[in-house]
Amino acid sequence: MNLAEGVQDLAFIVLAALVIAASLGVVLFEKIVYSAFLLGLVFISIAGLYILLNADFVAAAQILVYVGAVNVLILFAIMLVNKQEAFSPVKNRWIRQGATAVVCAGLFALLGTMVLATPWAIDETVDTTSTLITIGKHFFSDFLLPFELASVLLLMAMVGAIILARRDFIPEVTATDREPQPDLTLPERPRDVAAIASNSPEI
């Protein structure tokens, strides 16, 4: 193993540790703002892993789309809503926790099986100079429907964030609140000032 391979291995270990630690922080932190910031750290760490895989365009798209758009949209929605709700105990909470544990264990087993079954040998014949052309061909041929669905999902997230942010600022106008507006009139001259001016002796 030469120096370049050692640096790549060290970078992979650091980035993987950041992904795991930040993901646990997203789940375990009580304040949702901290979870949103740690989610941005997860996205940035994943972009670093893409750079190690020579996927430069995917890493740039990861930072621009997920960090610069999705994560910022989540932060705006959280900060604009700014709702503080007291914690209330949930009945039969252990059922939800057990179901969550089963789903997480199943996903972990599925991902572990995929990692063990995937051949990780490096193919020297693959051109790794640029992935832009290959990704463009796949986006508009094989993965056209998921690509369009992702754009619709982002639009729905944006509309939902706007609705949540503006809900508290929309007053409920009833029939009794609608008072007739006075007509526009010119400001009258104050009566006391007019009386003083009329009674003052002429010079």
Domain boundary assignment for the chain = 1-85+130-170
Average pLDDT over residues 176-191: 54
Cα–Cα dist 82/165, whole Å: 9
Residues composing the chain: 203
Give the mean pLDDT of the chain. 78
Residue 12 pLDDT greater than 70, yes or no: yes
Residues of the chain above pLDDT 70, percent: 73
- Is the entire prediction scored with pTM above 0.85? no
pLDDT at residue 31, rounded to an integer: 84
pLDDT at residue 183, rounded to an integer: 54
CATH number 2.120.10.30 given to 1-85+130-170: no
pLDDT at residue 174, rounded to an integer: 53
Cα–Cα dist 197/190, whole Å: 11
Cα–Cα dist 26/32, whole Å: 8
pLDDT at residue 92, rounded to an integer: 82
Average pLDDT over residues 78-98: 77
DSSP code for 143:
S
DSSP code for 55:
-
Residue 158 burial by Cβ neighbours in a 10 Å radius (0-12, 13-18, 19+): middle
Region of 52 on the Ramachandran plot (φ > 0 left; ψ -120 to 50 alpha; else beta) = alpha
Residue 85 pLDDT greater than 70, yes or no: no
Residue 104 pLDDT greater than 80, yes or no: yes
pLDDT at residue 1, rounded to an integer: 46
pLDDT at residue 16, rounded to an integer: 93
Report the C-alpha dihedral over residues 85, 87, 89, 90, rounded to 10 degrees: 50
Q: Which of 41, 36, 49 is nearest to 21 (CA)?
A: 41
Average pLDDT over residues 171-198: 53
Cα 6 from chain centre: 34
